[in-house]
Structure 1
Amino acid sequence: MIPQLVTVRYRRSDGRRRRLYVPVLPVAVVLSPLLLLAAPAGLVACRVFRVSPVGALRGAGRLLWALPGTRFEIEQGPTAVLISVR
């Protein structure tokens, strides 16, 4: 299952907390024109580094499929960031 929602929570150095909800599908639709530029660039990169384009696409798909349920937590000093993928 592909991710549906990304939640970003962060605490600023002054102690205030913020929470952002980012729906994946609308963001993907808005950024889809960039895919027209990214696809040829990816093919060129695969050719330069001698990687199979099909294998690279399969690996990217498996990575995307494994994202739901992932949590990234970063804390440095008084600032903290939590990214949760659902």
Structure 2
Amino acid sequence: MMPQLVTVRVKRPDRHAVRIWVPVLPVVLVLSPVVALALLGGAVACHIYRIDVVRALGTGWRIVCALPGSRFDVEFDRTAVLVAIR
């Protein structure tokens, strides 16, 4: 299943934590022209490097479908960014 929601939380010691919820489907729909160009560029790159385009697209889709449940935590100095994909 494709990810539905991305939650981003930024924590700083001197301020309150900021939490942002980003729905994935509306963002993909708004950015669909860019996604189409990226797919076309990927297909050209696959052709140049002699990689099967269908197999590459299938592998990319499997990676996207495996994202729900992932969590990324990045800490730098005293600021932490937490990203959860649902």
TM-score (norm 1): 0.89
Correspondence 1:66 to 2:66 = yes
Q: What does residue 29 of structure 2 align with?
A: 29
Task: Give 1:14 deviation, angstroms.
Answer: 3.6
Which residue type is aligned with residue 33 of structure 1?
Answer: P
Q: Is the 8 A contact 1:15 1:78 kept in 2?
A: no
Structure 2: segments with no counterpart, 5+ residues: none
How far residue 76 of structure 1 moved from its aligned partner, in angstroms, is 1.6
Q: CA RMSD in A?
A: 1.4
Q: Which residue of 1 aligns with 2:42?
A: 42
**Gap regions ≥5 residues in structure 1:** none
> Normalising to structure 2: TM-score of the pair?
0.89
Residue type of the partner of 2:56? A
Aligned to 2:18: 18
Q: Give the SS at the match of 2:7.
A: strand
- Share of identical aligned residues, percent? 51
Give the aligned length. Answer: 86
Q: Which runs of 4+ in 1 moved over 4 A?
A: none
Instruction: Provide the C-alpha distance between the structure 2 equivalents of 1:10 and 1:83, rounded to a whole number of angstroms.
Output: 9
Query: Distance between the aligned counterparts of 1:15 and 1:80, measured in 2?
Result: 12
